[in-house]
């Protein structure tokens, strides 16, 4: 039964909008944020009360108030903004804060006058202040709304009444953005699975066409299909559709494809996935020899211990045995010489209680020090010494700073080797058994690694973050071998790597994310050059479906599970240690790894049906989602259907290649 609902708000989450935000074809105006009413998506600071249709602002306790959103992406490439409002008094100043990647743009957009008024201002970067991140003043779309702030300034009264009539963005959109599709497939409170899709028309005219809905399994076999007519109203109106999804009992995964074929021939796509929850038993035994890590980042849960425990339990079920955690200097030492480890004691103990070892990042500058100076280094070293001393009975691996080869390090590059030298010395003195991880490059930055080596930077383990848009498994393994040779075959850990399932340029689907996780995990360890790998990160950092930083997780913000979690669990639990052997008997461009009785293999560049000889029966073949594809008890030869980039697991029996 198809249910239809007309709405004016964009539905949440996941799936495929491959827009480029380049080569704009037309300009539209739309209300990008609703500040007219008391919306649940907007968080107001203290001192603001909504008395329909008026916002009443009380400046008696705070000289500034704000309307805040964690991350609201703006369509297209914004050109200017138009704010229409009414104010009861003059004199207050208005500011707006927008975000672009890790960079922020801030601007004072005007001073309130009494009565109705219109304030127009251009989009960044011209005449905007900018800070943080790349800190270069370049806008990287999607531009995101973060804060609308009102400062009392010269307002004569402590009470200001404000009616915000509209807040319009004038933006250039590409043809791919004329219709925005956002899909979500989920289980409701009664255990039934549904798939929903919102269709937003950015044009000023009604559009119509045919809507195709397809359900496919992990092998992309068609389970069901339907077609219907669809009409979408003009001017940023949204149609929401929802269908029930029946998942076969032998399937752990389903993907729903929504395809809107507009009558003018243009096609708009969305897809979303549902993965059955993993239900593996908890193994709380520590295993520091495991290569399988994850950026759990328990810091980000703040005081929310319930959800921190929930994440730890889920990671434990998946077989994850390491977590990378930021030991933020400002939290540990908020004032010079005053240390408080209570927060991090809880983080470390929570991890260990679920069988997950911790490696800590000693990172970022305290607000009270002099960053990127010799005095700052001396202060950093004292914080390092105190932290290692406190945790030396529980934490044996310390990474010094994060990605100093890019914008996270804003000072002279030659100070980084100096920082590592000083920290290395005090770490080893405090705990001779500790391992020092360092260099921590964004990408595999061979030049920066050489720079650190020439500066005699001491470290036990090289850490790298080899992000990339595409993964060529064979070339990736070769790169890892070369960087290991560059550091004289010292251990190499990948402390960040991942792909985001956001709906913007370079985002991947959740299906693709699961495949990439499996392949980068397996390839890195099988290379022989890498001893440990951690995905960035475990849980989506937000609900903005268009912002890449919000969608790296293998579970969503609401803890629903992406297929990447099931892929991760299949690897971590079937291949629990780092002794993975490369098999070369299956022919060219077949990647195969063996650990104990478990064999994993896939085709590197094309779909292929591989004939293999059975040397031990029975043979059981599973896919990455843990679904059994084949059970063979008698045949001497079997054919394995290998899809390009789709790992298969031989979990029982033995096979070998046939020439």
Q: What's the confidence (pLDDT) of residue 659?
A: 63
From 136, 157, 173, give the residue that closes a domain: 173
* Residues 403, 462 within the same domain: yes
* Residues 400, 380 within the same domain: yes
User: Bridge partners of 6?
Assistant: 239
Q: Transcribe 75-144 into DSSP letters.
A: SSEEEEEEEEEEESSS--EEEEEEEETTEEEEEEEEE--SEEEEEEEEPSSTT-EEESTT-S----SSPE
Taking only the tens place, the pLDDT of each residue in 350-402 is: 999 999 999 999 999 999 999 999 999 999 999 999 999 999 999 999 999 99
652 in a structural domain = yes
CA-to-CA dists, residue 256 to 262, 331, 462, 554, 621, angstroms: 19, 44, 41, 18, 25
Q: Is 67 exposed, middle or buried (0-12, 13-18, 19+ CB in 10 A)?
A: buried
Alpha-carbon span 427 to 382, nearest angstrom: 10
- What is the CB-side half-sphere exposure of residue 141 using CA atoms within 13 A? 21
The DSSP element (H or E) to which 308 belongs, if any, is helix 305-318
Alpha-carbon span 55 to 574, nearest angstrom: 57
Cα-to-chain-centroid distance, residue 269: 22
648 in a structural domain = yes
Q: What pTM was computed for the model?
A: 0.94
90 in a structural domain = yes
* Residues 189, 222 within the same domain: yes
Return the minimum-mean-pLDDT range out of 175-184, 221-230, 377-386, 575-584: 575-584
21 in a structural domain = no
* Residues 197, 94 within the same domain: no
For residue 649, give the CATH number of its domain: 2.60.40
Alpha-carbon span 459 to 442, nearest angstrom: 17
* Residues 312, 378 within the same domain: yes
Question: Are the beta carbons of 526 and 519 closer than 8 angstroms?
Answer: no
Domain that holds residue 183: 3-10+176-275
Domain count along the chain = 4
457 in a structural domain = yes
From 574, 604, 634, give the residue that closes a domain: 574
* Residues 617, 630 within the same domain: yes
For residue 248, give the CATH number of its domain: 2.60.40.2360
433 in a structural domain = yes
Q: Please state the rounded mean pLDDT for residues 532-555.
A: 97
Taking only the tens place, the pLDDT of each residue in 177-211 is: 999 999 999 999 999 999 999 999 999 999 999 99
CA-to-CA dists, residue 438 to 118, 186, 403, 453, 477, angstroms: 53, 41, 9, 11, 21
SS3 content of the chain, % helix, strand, coil (to 5): 20, 40, 40
Taking only the tens place, the pLDDT of each residue in 255-311 is: 999 999 999 999 999 999 999 999 999 999 999 999 999 999 999 999 999 999 999
262-274 burial by CB neighbour count: b if 16+ within 10 A, else e?
beeeeebbbbbbb
Where residue 23 falls among pLDDT bands split at 50, 70, 90?
low
Alpha-carbon span 202 to 232, nearest angstrom: 10
* Residues 201, 263 within the same domain: yes
* Residues 452, 480 within the same domain: yes
Paired tokens of 55: 């916002």
Taking only the tens place, the pLDDT of each residue in 83-115 is: 999 999 999 999 999 999 899 999 999 999 999
Paired tokens of 447: 């030049």
* Residues 482, 536 within the same domain: yes
Question: Are the beta carbons of 623 and 219 closer than 8 angstroms?
Answer: yes
From 119, 141, 173, give the residue that closes a domain: 173
For residue 114, give the CATH number of its domain: 2.60.120
133 in a structural domain = yes
* Residues 642, 561 within the same domain: no
Query: How high is the mean pLDDT of the chain?
Result: 94
* Residues 620, 529 within the same domain: no
Taking only the tens place, the pLDDT of each residue in 335-356 is: 999 999 999 999 999 999 999 9
282 in a structural domain = no
For residue 482, give the CATH number of its domain: 3.20.20.80
> For 402-467, where are the alpha helices, taking DSSP H only?
415-430, 446-454
Q: How many CB atoms lie within 10 A of CB 126?
A: 7
Alpha-carbon span 264 to 254, nearest angstrom: 31
* Residues 126, 159 within the same domain: yes
Q: Examine the pLDDT at 9 and tell me if it is beyond 50.
A: no
């Amino acid at each position: 039964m198809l249910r239809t609902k007309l709405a004016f708000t964009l539905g949440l989450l996941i799936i495929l909008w491959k827009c480029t935000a380049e080569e704009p074809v037309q300009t539209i105006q739309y209300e990008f944020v609703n500040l007219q009413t008391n919306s649940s998506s907007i968080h107001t600071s203290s001192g603001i009360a909504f008395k329909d249709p008026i916002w009443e602002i009380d400046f008696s306790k705070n000289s500034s108030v704000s309307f805040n959103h964690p991350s609201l992406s703006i369509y297209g490439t914004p050109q200017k903004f138009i704010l229409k409002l009414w104010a009861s008094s003059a004199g207050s100043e208005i500011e707006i804060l927008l975000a672009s990647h890790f960079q922020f743009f801030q601007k004072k957009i005007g001073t309130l006058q009494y009565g109705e008024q219109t304030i127009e201002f251009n989009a960044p970067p011209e005449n905007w202040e900018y800070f943080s991140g790349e800190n270069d003043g370049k806008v990287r779309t999607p531009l995101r709304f973060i804060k609308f702030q009102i400062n009392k300034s010269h307002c004569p009264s402590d009470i200001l009444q404000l009616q915000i009539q509209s807040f319009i963005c004038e933006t250039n959109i590409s043809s791919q953005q004329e219709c925005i599709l956002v899909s979500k497939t989920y289980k409701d409170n009664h255990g039934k699975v549904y798939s929903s899709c919102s269709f937003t028309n950015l044009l000023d005219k009604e559009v119509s066409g045919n809507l195709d809905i397809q359900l496919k399994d992990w092998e992309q076999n068609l389970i069901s299909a339907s077609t219907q007519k669809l009409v979408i109203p003009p001017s940023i109106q949204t149609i929401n559709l929802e269908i029930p999804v029946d998942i076969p009992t032998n399937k752990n995964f389903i993907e729903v494809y929504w395809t809107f074929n507009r009558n003018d021939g243009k096609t708009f796509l969305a897809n979303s996935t549902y993965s059955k929850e993993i239900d593996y038993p908890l193994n709380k035994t520590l295993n520091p020899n495991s290569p399988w890590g994850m950026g759990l980042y328990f810091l980000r849960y703040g005081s929310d211990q319930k959800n921190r425990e929930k994440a730890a339990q889920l990671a434990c079920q998946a077989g994850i045995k390491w977590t990378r955690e930021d030991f933020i200097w400002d939290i540990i030492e908020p004032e010079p010489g005053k240390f408080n480890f209570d927060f991090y004691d809880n983080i470390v103990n929570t991890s260990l209680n679920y069988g997950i070892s911790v490696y800590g990042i000693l990172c970022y500058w305290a607000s009270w020090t002099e960053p990127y100076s010799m005095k700052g280094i001396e202060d950093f070293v004292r914080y390092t010494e105190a932290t290692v001393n406190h945790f030396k009975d529980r934490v044996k691996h310390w990474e010094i700073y994060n990605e100093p080869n890019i914008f996270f390090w804003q000072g002279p590059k030659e100070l980084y080797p100096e920082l590592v030298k000083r920290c290395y010395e005090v770490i080893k003195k405090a705990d001779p058994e500790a391992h020092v991880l360092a260099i921590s490059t964004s990408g595999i930055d061979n030049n920066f690694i050489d720079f650190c080596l020439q500066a005699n930077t001491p470290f036990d383990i090289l850490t790298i973050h080899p992000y990339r848009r595409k993964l060529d498994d064979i070339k990736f393994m070769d790169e890892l071998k070369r960087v290991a040779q560059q550091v004289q075959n010292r251990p190499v850990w990948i402390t960040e790597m991942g792909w985001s399932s956001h709906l913007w340029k370079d985002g991947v689907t959740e299906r693709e994310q699961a495949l990439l996780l499996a392949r980068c995990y397996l390839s890195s360890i099988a290379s022989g050059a890498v001893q440990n790998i951690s995905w960035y990160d475990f849980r989506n950092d937000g609900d903005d479906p268009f912002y890449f930083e919000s969608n790296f997780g293998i579970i969503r913000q609401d803890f629903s599970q992406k297929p990447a979690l099931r892929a991760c669990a299949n690897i971590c639990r079937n291949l629990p240690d780092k002794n993975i052997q490369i098999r070369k008997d299956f022919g060219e461009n077949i990647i195969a790894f063996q650990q104990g009785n478990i064999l994993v293999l896939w085709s590197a560049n094309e779909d292929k049906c591989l004939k293999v000889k059975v040397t031990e029966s029975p043979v059981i073949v599973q896919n990455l989602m843990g679904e059994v594809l084949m059970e063979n008890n008698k045949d001497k030869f079997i054919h394995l259907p290998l899809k390009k980039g789709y790992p298969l697991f031989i979990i029982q029996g033995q096979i070998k290649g046939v020439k």
